[in-house]
Amino acid sequence: MARDTSRDGFGNKLQAYVLTHGTRIWTWIQSVPPFARLVNKVLIDSAIAMIPSRPYAYSLMTLDPHVPDTDVAKNTDTYTSWDSLIDRRYTGRHLPPAPDFNRDGALPHLDDLAVLFRKKNGATILSEKSTMLFPYWVQWFTDGFLRTDRYNRLRNTSNHQIDLCTVYGLTTKQTHLLRSFKDGKLKSQQINGEEYPPFYYADPEAGTVKPEFEGLYVPLNDETRLPAARKFQLFAMGVERANIQLGFVMLGTLCLREHNRLAALLAQSYPQWDDERLFQTARMILMVEIMKIVVEEYINHISPYKFKFLTDPSAFRNEKWYRENWMAVEFTLVYRWHSALPDTLAYADRTMPMVDSLWNNAMLIDRGLGALFEETCAQPATRIGLFNTADFLIEAAELPSIGLGRMAQLASYNDYREMAGFPRVTAFDQITADVDAQRELQRLYGHVDNIEFYVGLYAEDVADGAALAPLIGRLVGIDAFSQAFTNPLLAEHIFNAQTFSDVGWKIVNTPVTLADLVNRNTPPIGRRYDVSFYQRDGR
C-alpha cells in the first residue's frame, strides 16, 4: 500500500519532483559554473529560510531549576535573558518548550517505545544506497560539534564549530598535548609500517595514562570499565569518544596521517617556517578538506537531488542566517542515525557482532587502514528508520534520545513539521506506508498530534533514492548549511591564499574525496582502495 501523500505540501512535492528528475537539464546546469553557483545559493538560502535565524529566543537554560552556576532555585518559565542569549554552554532550541505536551502521563512509557525500533522478527533492512562508511562518518563527524554534556544534559561541551576537535582536542591546552611541537606534526607512532596516534595509557592494568596526556579528557565510564588488553591499544586523540568504535578510530587515524602529510609538504615548500606555523596551516587546510568532503561528497550522498551542492563560500556574504553558531537540541536529535549501523560486520574473513567493534583498536592495527576502509565500503549500511536498530543501541541510544527530547520539553512532531514548512499530518498513513508502524503509532499515541518529535522523525518513509526521511533531511540541511558556511576559514577575507599559503590554497582548491585521503595516506598496493559512501553499483 502506498503512503497518502496528500499532506506532503504542494510546494514540497514540486520541489522534490523538479530536483529529482531531468538528469540532462541538471547535468547541463552543473556544467555552467555561474548557473551552478546560482542554483546552489538559491537552494541553500531557501532551505535555511524555512525557519527563523539565530540567535534563538530560548535555550535549554530556561529549564534549569537553578540560577546558572548557583544553588539558587528559580522558576522554569520560558523567557529570554541576557545570560540565555550569551551562554552557549546551554544547548539552543528552535521551538519553545511545550510543558503540557510533555506533562507526566501524557506520553507513552519510554520502555514501551522500544518496539518501534526493534527489528521485525530480527530482520535487518539494508540501505540500498549507502555503505557502512556512511554511519561511521556520521558518528565521527557529528560527535565533533553535537556534544551533549554528560553531567548536565541541558548543556553541551561543544565549540559550536566544525573544528575537528575529534582530532585536535576541544581546547588549545588539549591540542598542545597532542602536538609533537616538531615540524608542525601531531604526535604519532609507526606500527607495521603505518602511522597511528600514540597509545594513551601508561599502565593499562592500573588504568593510568601517560603523563604527557594527563588532562586530555575525563574518560567515559565505558572506557574505565574496559579490560587492560583493550585499554592498552587506545589512542590519544582529541575527545573522550575518539576510541569508541572502529569507524571513529579509522577516521581519526586518517586525519592524523593527512595532517602530518600536509605539515611535511608545507615544510618542504617553506623550509623557513617554524613548527607553530606548519601546524596551524596544516590544520586549516585539513579542516577545509573535511568541509569540502562534507558538502560535496557526504551531503550530496544524502541528498536525493540531481543537483550536486558546491562548496562555494563566496555565495554567502549577506545572508541573514550568517549568525554565530549555536548547536540546538533538535539538531542533535535529527542526527541520531543509530538504525544505519548493522548488528554485524564482516571483518577479514568472518562476521562479527558490531558490539565487538567498540573500543577495539586491535581490529584496525591488525588489518591496516586501507584494507579496513575498503572492507567497510564493501558492506551496506542499514536503512535509517523504525524497526531497524541493533538491539544494543535501543536501550543505549534510541530510548535515551527520546528521553532527552522529553527533558527538553520538545514540541510535537506535527509542530516541527509546521515549523519546517510541511503541512501537519492528519492520519498515520500520511507518515509511513508501513502498516505495522501505523498500527504501533496508533496504539502508542492514539492521535498523530500526540506523536513525539524523535519518533515522528524516524517513522517517516524515506523516498526513493534518498538516504533520509523528509523532515530529518530538511532540518539537518538547515542546521548543517547555516553552521558550516559560517566557519571563519570560509569568510570573505580569510578564504584566500594569504591564509592557507600558496601551496595550501592549491590543495584547498583541488577536488578531494575520502578515497583520495585514504589512498594518499596508506602504503601503496598497486591499485586504489575502493572507498565510497555509495554501494558499488551506485558508484
Residues interacting with a copy of itself, by CB under 8 A?
52-53, 55-57, 67-70, 72, 74-75, 77, 79-87, 159, 161, 163, 172-173, 176, 181, 273-277, 280-281, 283-284, 287, 317-320, 322-324, 488-489, 491-494, 498-499
**CB 140 → a copy of itself: shortest distance, Å?**
19
What are the phi and psi torsion angles at 365 (to 5°)? -60, -40
Sign of CA dihedral 432, 433, 434, 440: positive
Please report where in the chains the cell 565500503 appears, as a residue: 377
Identity of residue 59: S
**CB 270 → a copy of itself: shortest distance, Å?**
10
Distance (Å, rounded) from C-alpha 360 to C-alpha 248?
A: 11
**Pick 14 or 42: Cβ nearer a copy of itself:** 42
Question: What is the secondary structure of 378-421 as a DSSP string?
Answer: TSEEE-SSSS---HHHIIIIIHHHHHHHHHTT--BHHHHHHHTT
Cβ atoms within 10 Å, residue 28? 12
Distance (Å, rounded) from C-alpha 16 to C-alpha 159?
A: 34
**Pick 189 or 280: Cβ nearer a copy of itself:** 280
Distance (Å, rounded) from C-alpha 466 to C-alpha 319?
A: 28
Which H/E stretch holds residue 201?
strand 201-203
**Pick 67 or 427: Cβ nearer a copy of itself:** 67
Beta-strand (E) ranges in 333-484?
Answer: 344-347, 350-353, 380-382
**CB 199 → a copy of itself: shortest distance, Å?**
23
**CB 205 → a copy of itself: shortest distance, Å?**
32
**CB 472 → a copy of itself: shortest distance, Å?**
24
Distance (Å, rounded) from C-alpha 335 to C-alpha 142?
A: 8
**Pick 491 or 507: Cβ nearer a copy of itself:** 491
**CB 65 → a copy of itself: shortest distance, Å?**
11
**Pick 13 or 176: Cβ nearer a copy of itself:** 176
Distance (Å, rounded) from C-alpha 110 to C-alpha 400?
A: 9
State the pairing for strand pair 126-131/380-382.
antiparallel
**Pick 317 or 539: Cβ nearer a copy of itself:** 317
What are the phi and psi torsion angles at 99 (to 5°)? -60, -35
**Pick 160 or 406: Cβ nearer a copy of itself:** 160
**CB 56 → a copy of itself: shortest distance, Å?**
8
**CB 188 → a copy of itself: shortest distance, Å?**
19
Cell of 124: 535487518
Report the interhelical angle of 246-269 vs 133-142 (nearest 10°). Answer: 70
Distance (Å, rounded) from C-alpha 43 to C-alpha 416?
A: 21
**Pick 52 or 538: Cβ nearer a copy of itself:** 52
Cβ atoms within 10 Å, residue 528? 15
**CB 146 → a copy of itself: shortest distance, Å?**
19
**Pick 112 or 276: Cβ nearer a copy of itself:** 276
